[in-house]
Amino acid sequence: MKATTRKLIDLPDITLKALQLRATTNGLSLKRYMEDVLIKKSKEHLTDEQLYELMLMMYPDGQEKATEKAKKAFEDMLET
């Protein structure tokens, strides 16, 4: 059995009504429909921009400016 995590979320009533309609149309419970949608969405490929944004959130130290010495070393490496 795969590990799962339970999350409590708050959604506007209009959103829940729309999701319930979609779930019913697909013959699923609201819970199962929401799980399926989120699982499918999580498997979509991310763009480079999205991956970079995620990386910055997870590793904020990457936002530090490089020193001139580090910049020069990197540029020299690219030239070889």
How many domains is the chain partitioned into structurally? 1
5: in domain: no
Contacts of 26 (CB under 8 A, 6+ apart): 33
DSSP the chain: ------------HHHHHHHHHHHHHTT--HHHHHHHHHHHHHTSPPPHHHHHHHHHHH-GGGGSPPPHHHHHHHHHHHH-
* Residue 3 belongs to a domain: no
Tell whether 7 is covered by a domain.
no
pLDDT at 15: 96
Residue 29 forms part of a structural domain: yes
Task: Establish if 1 belongs to a structural domain.
Answer: no
Q: Which domain holds residue 48?
A: 13-79
Return per-residue pLDDT of the chain as tens, 80 residues.
689 899 999 999 999 999 999 999 999 999 999 999 999 999 999 899 988 888 888 877 766 778 899 889 989 898 87
Backbone angles phi, psi at 10, to 5 degrees: -110, 125
Tokens of 36: 């399926």
